[in-house]
């Protein structure tokens, strides 16, 4: 029986973006089911007291260097957005609407398109209008997406997803959980793979 791995991320997270580009291959190699769980990391930061890396002296300069280096290492198109970080409420709402109404695979493709729009094309994904445009490019109906972004039930789903992340003590992006075992960070993906394949240690 294949393992299930929860993949938590925020759409404003560059390391979350990197993992989103690699996690499908990871799932194939490990023969596991990866559940994509976007959430609002800003709410978690209020609990932990952490700040975005770009707002921390010294770390901000290093993080920009490291992001570009990691992108080159994996061959992932990347440019630090001109506006960073941004609110990701609309992106999260679109994802959970797509997942509920069209299934996990179309929703995942939408998530990847949103990530790429932000981190490869420097588009400000905080605006509902852009999220609708990206979703339309992924063959969703614009009016349905626009309505979904204002749907009270979808708003509740995003809140519930964020509450779940906090309950699971998820405090970063990406963050993976398998059998209750937490792994924080893009650079833990290889460790997670070894853990899943071996059954843990």
What domains can you pick out in the chain, each with its CATH number? 4-198 (3.40.30.10)
Query: Would you state the pLDDT for residue 43?
Result: 92
Query: Would you state the pLDDT for residue 27?
Result: 97
Strands 175-178 and 33-38: unpaired
Q: Which of 101, 104, 81, 84 is nearest to 23 (CA)?
A: 104
pLDDT means per 10 residues, the chain with 201 residues, are 92 98 97 97 87 81 94 97 96 98 97 98 98 98 98 98 96 96 96 95 93
Q: How far apart are CA 77 and CA 140, in angstroms?
A: 25
Question: How many DSSP H helices and E strands does the chain contain?
Answer: 9, 4
With a threshold of 0.85, does the pTM exceed it? yes
Query: Would you state the pLDDT for residue 165?
Result: 96
Radius of gyration of the chain (CA): 16
Please, which residues have CB within 8 angstroms of residue 29's CB and are 6 or more apart in sequence?
Answer: 193, 197
Concatenating the DSSP letter of every residue in 56-82 gives STTHHHHHHHHHHHHHHHHT------S
Query: Would you state the pLDDT for residue 60?
Result: 87
């Amino acid at each position: 029986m294949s393992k299930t791995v929860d993949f938590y991320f925020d759409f404003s997270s560059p390391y979350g973006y990197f993992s989103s580009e690699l996690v499908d291959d990871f799932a194939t190699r490990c023969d596991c089911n990866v559940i994509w769980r976007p959430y609002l990391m800003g709410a978690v930061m209020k609990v932990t007291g952490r700040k975005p890396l770009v707002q921390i002296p010294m770390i901000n300069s290093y993080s920009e260097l490291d992001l570009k280096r990691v992108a080159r290492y994996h061959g992932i198109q990347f440019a630090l957005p001109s506006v960073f970080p941004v609110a990701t409420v609309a992106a999260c709402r679109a994802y959970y609407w797509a997942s509920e109404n069209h299934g996990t695979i179309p929703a995942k493709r939408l998530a990847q398109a949103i990530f790429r729009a932000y981190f490869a094309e420097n588009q400000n994904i905080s605006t509902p209008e852009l999220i609708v445009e990206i979703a339309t490019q992924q063959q969703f109906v614009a009016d349905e997406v626009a309505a979904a972004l204002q749907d009270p039930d979808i708003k509740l789903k995003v809140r519930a997803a964020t509450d779940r992340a906090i309950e699971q003590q998820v405090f970063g992006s990406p963050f993976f959980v398998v059998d209750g075992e937490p792994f924080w960070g893009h650079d833990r993906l290889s460790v997670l793979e070894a853990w899943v394949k071996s059954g843990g240690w």
